[in-house]
Chains A and B, each alone.
Chain A
């Protein structure tokens, strides 16, 4: 049958398929030209930065660039080799090079990421590196006994190649042992995984609160007559038109120790003047303010799905003998699932990466992973920030994949 079709020709004998392709080529070219600017924009502002970020998380040439001799020594001496005179000679020549090029700080910073407190080792050693005499081992050990520590040599070996998994190790609270193995960092130094967990749990709580608050409002919006629901919709959207900073600082005004809420509670006698509730600059503050800010992202997808559910479904269920609760549970709720899924996914993804609000109202215990990413960026540890961001991205993609498996992306309705 397909053969018969492929042999079809136009009136003048051209194959039908070729004629069709030629006839549509012009329209296709024009369509592509129309989307080309957007495509270019997305590539430049989205795909390239993300690629850059992913690359930075596994690439750091701060040490490998300024220590060519050591790089050569490490590549010719496999893991487990003795650090003999030749190794120290390479180190001495690299330190001299660092002094000349003024790159000791950069190289030290790179090693410092994996072995904290080693940056000064490089800067101070490089200062007198050009005056070192052989045997270099004794000379360097005399300069600083730390040069004999296998952990530092292990770190230098790892850093001698610009491609590294070090930053992912750090981001998952792990470190290299002196013999090249991998272990978890001491318990009191584990922060990242814990913060990831906390970020996901807090985002989950915020998403849940948003869902609970948004569901009735969305239902009301979807069932009220148009004139009333429009007004309500404006109220829902109002926060969108207000600056995020203004909204966040308004919450500070409301929730702080001498704030409106506490003052009212004190004047009503619910709490004593000395028993003012701490609702801001902590986890509670983060949850309250972020729930408020993310609420519209839950309301809108829910509303758009609920608007399409005809009231006759509920009526049919009631007439068939279902109580109002059964009608809600078995007829209404299942039909809102695409909206719940879209709203929850949207809210959760936004919450997981939220930065300004926790930074402003989170205090010490209300900080999320993005605040730490920002912290590392401000300290110019781009690679660690990139590794943490990549992990966050991976987590969100896993969620997206799960959603696709459970609900189906094609059912996603964002409004």
Chain B
């Protein structure tokens, strides 16, 4: 049932080369009440060894997708395939998928060692082999000395490590993680992100990770699927999502973002001229706008906003802005501006030696490289 995985110097014996459809969601739909769809026609291929994150607000259908993959929910329509095999009717315990739960779900009446032994015992593994595997899994998460503790005696971070070790101890090829770091404090969370990432790399396992924390998604994943309203809004590497969002939802959900509503004035190839509600003209890259006169929402990242004309490309438009507030944040300065009648336009300036000092009330001009402003669908 298990694939042989390269753990601690073992040679990997795979019968097939890395394939790109290790996990396949094929036109999957899910409805709980027969009236509305929680997951609407999901198509997703996950490659072997990939770290894929399902990101989205609560109620977006991401957890439902994970539960369908784990076997705790059945797909209303469509097919889920694991390693080429349709697993729609395979019960959860025969799927051989490791899973890490949000609240860890460590069995409270068992010690750490017994928790880890559980998946091996139900597979009928002998005692010696079991203990070797438990030791290895505990060492992997640096919890070797805790085998005899009860989960209640461990801190949140330690429980998280044990949950991770338990999901990995039976060498599953696929591990699902359902917001595993949600209950940890910020510092520990960031630390665990790296550890999970390293485990993923060193074990060569496939990870499907569910979170609503976009920072977590960006730092850990090979690819991120942004969910909203039961659909994947965009699927791609973190840099694509951040720098080239496909639609307003993705632009807004990931990272900080300035939005300027307007109308397409000119459209030529990869350039668009947008007239804002207050009459100014700005440059943008058309993404999902197709015709002149169309309504659009232009999205610009705060760190890509410039206020020094010498930094702007030739011929680029600049518009008037009033400084409302300068917030000192250490590494950056966050400047809130009034631009085109809106009070929440944000510009981030690096806090470098000799950086121009701005003060509230000051009149400046701001602009950006046309490639950094994306003309998206109006929301």
Contacts and interface: CB of A to CB of B under 8 A. Distances in A.
Nearest to A316: B105
A14 interface: no
Contact of A326 (B109, B122, B166, B176): B122
B108 interface: yes
A319 B103 contact: no
A319 B108 contact: no
Contacts of B98: 319-320
A227 interface: no
B105 A310 contact: yes
Main secondary structure of the interface of A (DSSP, over half): helix
B166 A320 contact: yes
B70 interface: yes
B92 A313 contact: no
A322 B118 contact: yes
A318 B72 contact: yes
A335 B108 contact: yes
Nearest to B169: A320
A326 B102 CA distance: 23
A312 B183 CA distance: 15
Given A318-B71, A321-B119, A326-B122, A310 B93 contact: no
B103 A312 contact: yes
B97 interface: yes
Interface in B122-180: 122-123, 166-167, 170, 176
A164 B213 CA distance: 78
A318 B108 CA distance: 16
A189 B272 CA distance: 109
A334 interface: yes
Contacts of B72: 315, 318
Interface in B77-92: 91-92
Give the interface size bracket for A toward B: 10 to 19
Contacts of A331: 107
B93 A322 contact: yes
Contacts of B109: 334-335
A319 B107 contact: no
A317 interface: yes
B105 A321 contact: no
A267 interface: no
A312 B96 CA distance: 17
Among B72, B101, B102, B105, max chain A CB count under 10 A is at: B105
A317 B167 CA distance: 10
A321 B98 CA distance: 9
A335 B107 CA distance: 9
A330 interface: yes
A323 interface: yes
Interface string A290-325: 000000000000000000001011011111111110
A320 B101 contact: no
Interface string B242-283: 000000000000000000000000000000000000000000
Contact of B170 (A317, A321, A334): A321
Contact of A313 (B71, B93, B107): B107
Interface of B: 70-72, 91-99, 101-103, 105-109, 118-119, 122-123, 166-167, 170, 176
9 contacts: A312-B101, A316-B99, A317-B118, A318-B71, A319-B92, A320-B122, A321-B93, A321-B122, A334-B109
